Amino acid sequence: MAFFDADSMASPFRIVNLVVGALMILGGISSFFPLSFQSVIIALYIILLGALVVTAEFSLPSQITKYASFLMSFVGRGLFYIFMGALILAPGALRIVGGAVIMLVGAIFVVLEFTPSIEPPTNMRAGEIGYEPAVGETV
């Protein structure tokens, strides 16, 4: 499947996830200030997890499907987005808008989990992307 397939419902989800990932990276950069040990650690985590979201839209290494399997469902990704948006949400225009948008997308993803007519895109279905669980491991 091409990245931007006009006939597929996956394209809007991919675009939204890329925007959320970019907002997470920008929010992480803005979280460095005011400069303190805590703000630097939180900012680095937000940037790295934003890069993880962007990476998950282009390729899914087995490490992501194994150790970050919560990204493989609407509810898991939605709760993750709500949490990350709450971390970013702070005084400052970029952080307020970015955090609020990320939290809103997260809430929409949680609702989509319980909407039977909406199928998750292929990059959010662990069984269809080649991840084979180890013996005794459940997905």
* Per-domain residue ranges of the chain: 10-118
For a pLDDT cut of 70, what percent of the chain falls above it? 82
Give the closest residue to 24 by CA, choosing from 64, 56, 58, 53: 53
| Confidence (pLDDT) at 18 | 95
For a pLDDT cut of 90, what percent of the chain falls above it? 55
Check: CB of residue 65 under 8 Å from CB of residue 72.
yes
- Buried b or exposed e, range 37-46, using 16+ CB within 10 angstroms: eeeeebbeeb
Please, which pLDDT band fits residue 135 given cuts at 50, 70 and 90? Answer: low
- Residue range 23-76, pLDDT digits in tens: 999 999 999 988 999 999 999 999 999 999 998 888 877 887 788 888 888 999
Helix, strand, coil in percent for the chain, rounding step 5: 70, 0, 30
